[in-house]
Chains A and B, each alone.
Chain A
Amino acid sequence: MDIDFSPEDMAFQQEVRAWFKAHTPTELKRKTVTGEMLQKNDIVQWQRRLDTQGWLVNGWPREYGGPGWTPTQRYIFDLERAAASAPVGLSMGVIMLGPVLIAFGTPEQKAQYLPRIRRCEDWWCQGYSEPGAGSDLASLKTTAVADGDDYVINGSKIWTTYAHWATHMFCLVRTASTGKKQEGISFLLIEMDRPGIDVKPIVSIDGEHHLNQVFLTDVRVPRKNLVGREGQGWDIAKYLLTHERTSIAGVADCKAHLSNLRVAAAERRSGGRPLAEDAAMRLKLARAEIELMALEYTNFRVLAATASGKAPGPESSLLKTMGTAVQQTLSELDVEIAADQAWPWHAQGELGDGRFAHAMPHYCFSRAATIYGGSDEVQKNVLAKMLLAGAR
């Protein structure tokens, strides 16, 4: 057991650190530090920059354009990226659809979509949740009925992040209503410019427009847009949920966030003295840091298990609940440190552009972390099943 990076990894770290230092745009850094929402163009430009460097799809296999990094290198990359206040800036296409197509797509689908994802020519959104299917995702009702060479889709998707920016949606649809409800679900690709698609904004409690409801009325897509087999959609969705094990914890961004909080606490005053010297604040920050250490080392353990071929399943549920708890704690501390500086609606008044202008919306939206991607309660159901399977 040791925690030292190899000389090769240390050289890699220096290379990545230097690159981010030289190439992260100031405006993106500002947005990352203050927690301001990134716009589509921010992300697209940044992704293209990373792709030029060959670093965008760093989780993809080499044959699809990945850099062939080890898990340790990916971890180092993420650490340096976050430490440089550079955004993750990854889209659903890179993180989610890419790995699915690589694992389940036809050669034609791979050839058609993967290069466009890399170059950010397509923007993908995820059509999973429905008004009647949240935590009970398998009860989704949006149907796709085969008709000649097409599927005809009817139904509605909700909480669809950035559907209003999207050119495409990957979607879970019902292709059969007999047998187990999970077995009638299929994974379908839908172009957003098809007739019958209507995107309605949902403004969230941060006052921003991230979320949407997507209505699908007699939308026709060719049958070649099916990924995997009919009825394989649930397995594909599950594959995705456990795929990104290292990024789900968000260790690197939490570290950068905590470090920013320490700077903020040192700058803010309380009774004329640095807030960082306040006894209660010191202990809150200490506690948050220790929780982050627990997260970091749990993440290491899962990485090590993955690297040695033990396929972790439920551990990703643990990482998700631990990670989102730390993320939410840090967002909460931002508002706490800001105090009345977090009051002004952002971009209004003279404080509207300050360090804390986005503390409040960022905190508000952070509450979604324990709801999306399988709520905390659903993750606990998954973990309980694993625990009790061992006990019986």
Chain B
Amino acid sequence: MNFELSEEQTMLRDAAQKYLRAAYGFDARNQIVASASGMSREHWQRFGEFGWLGLGLLEGHGGFGGVVELIQVAEAMGAALVVEPYLASTVLGAQALTRAGSPAQQAAWLPGLASGQRILALAHGEADARHELSYVTTRATAKDGGWLLSGRKSGVLGAPWADGFVVVARTSGAVDERRGISLFLVDAQTPGVQVAGYRAYDGSRAGDLVLDQVVLGQDALLGVKGEGMALLEKLIDLGIVVACADALGAMDALLRKTGEYASTRKQFDVPIASFQVIQHRLVDMFAAVEASRSLLMMAALHAEHPDAATRSRAVSAAKAAIGERARFVAQQAVQLHGGVGMTEELDIGHYFRRLTLFCNLLGSSDHHLQRFAALRAPV
């Protein structure tokens, strides 16, 4: 058993924190959010130069490290409220290719993803599916040796920025069947592909993907036809671990900032931190952060477990519990800041919104609690 980061992992974590603190301050970040594109290509390429966008990718395509490395960077990004599509592209998009792409698909995409030249988004959700991954109505039918793709995907992270999409579609079976799900690699410029994009409440960009009679070649299929569910679950599980790390970064920042605020804000002539009710609330926030950190570690250590049920149980446990704690920490941070915590001007509310979106990202706490219970190993 070993719960320490290696020297390289520690260096990666420290470097990410240091760079983002210096170059990605709150004001700079807000300018990025308010810009027309809503992201900074400059930062994104810097992230690529640092190697952050190659984490977990194949070594031959500019990649190194794995989930432990990914969560070091993601935690720093959560603390800095980074809006660029780290989870969307580096994890969900690039990992689909890493795990199931053909050599040609990998060669075409991975170097550009690792360097920060290109962005690849995963389009798996649908409006009526809610959190259920196997509910897929988007259809791909075989046509002229290739594929014809039609449907609407929703909640696609990073969609307005994406150069391409990994689209989850049904090649056979009923809408909620686990069998018959396939993944396709779709260039954003393909005729019939349309993005209904928006700025999300956490400052990032997302959108619905409208697919209208999109004609794809045979080589667009990613992985094995009809067998995409296992891959999708693996991707989402990994994405959840990284999302939890991002949330932890935000929670930790809120705890620190709230402690500092309570120590300086005076009422009744004394710092409000001198009141026991405030102290105990801070301790409840601290306990929530620490438990989340423990569960994140647990989930990360199981993220590549060969047994899918063992892996998913660990991940769902973490998402269920960290989701609830993220909501608690976010709400209490606003509460303890009082009126000023309600203002757009302060960063507290921006963390609050990020964590609120996290609660329903890649499955809610309720969803994952039920999944955990269903996956329980027999007595």
Contact = CB atoms under 8 A, between A and B. Distances in A.
A binds B: yes
Interface of A: 1-5, 9, 72, 259, 262-263, 266, 282-283, 285-287, 289-291, 293-298, 300-301, 303-304, 308, 318, 321-322, 377, 380-381, 383-384, 387-388, 390-392
Contact of A287 (B256, B273, B369): B369
Contact of B298 (A287, A297, A377, A384): A297
Interface residues of B, number: 39
Contact of A384 (B283, B292, B373, B376): B283
Given A290-B320, A301-B3, 17 more contacts: A263-B379, A286-B376, A293-B295, A293-B321, A294-B291, A294-B294, A294-B295, A297-B294, A297-B298, A298-B290, A298-B294, A304-B4, A318-B290, A380-B283, A384-B282, A390-B259, A391-B263
B273 A391 contact: yes
A286 B373 contact: yes
A71 to B, nearest CB: 9
Interface of B: 1-5, 68, 256, 259-260, 262-263, 273, 276, 279-280, 282-284, 286-287, 290-295, 297-298, 300-301, 317, 320-321, 369-370, 372-373, 376, 379
26 contacts: A1-B297, A1-B301, A4-B1, A5-B1, A72-B1, A283-B369, A283-B370, A286-B369, A290-B369, A291-B321, A293-B321, A294-B291, A294-B298, A297-B297, A297-B298, A298-B290, A300-B294, A304-B2, A321-B287, A380-B283, A384-B276, A387-B282, A388-B282, A391-B256, A391-B273, A392-B263
Contacts, number: 118
B365 to A, nearest CB: 10
- Tell me whether chain B's interface is mostly helix, strand or loop, or mixed: helix
A258 to B, nearest CB: 11
Given A1-B4, A290-B321, A294-B321, A380 B280 contact: yes
Given A1-B297, A283-B370, A308 B263 contact: no
B316 to A, nearest CB: 9
B294 A301 contact: yes
Given A259-B379, A297-B298, A321-B287, A391 B1 contact: no
Given A282-B373, A301-B3, A388 B321 contact: no
Given A1-B2, A286-B373, A387 B283 contact: yes
A177 B236 CA distance: 64
A290 B317 CA distance: 6
B336 to A, nearest CB: 12
Contacts of B279: 380-381, 384, 387-388
Contacts of B369: 283, 286-287, 290
Contacts of A263: 379
A391 B263 CA distance: 7
Contact of A301 (B260, B297, B317, B373): B297
A361 B260 CA distance: 44
B3 A304 contact: yes
Contacts of A9: 1
A241 B279 CA distance: 21
A384 B280 contact: yes
Contacts of A308: 4
B294 A388 contact: no
A35 B198 CA distance: 57
Contacts of A321: 287
A336 to B, nearest CB: 16
The 7 closest A-B pairs by CB, nearest first: A384-B279, A297-B294, A304-B3, A391-B259, A286-B373, A294-B291, A298-B294
A294 B290 CA distance: 9
A46 B4 CA distance: 37
Contact of A300 (B3, B260, B263, B292): B3
Contacts of B262: 388, 391
Contacts of A322: 287, 291
A5 B1 CA distance: 5
A391 B261 CA distance: 9
B372 A388 contact: no
B273 to A, nearest CB: 5
Contacts of B273: 388, 391
B301 A3 contact: yes
Nearest to A388: B273
Contact of A2 (B2, B290, B370): B2
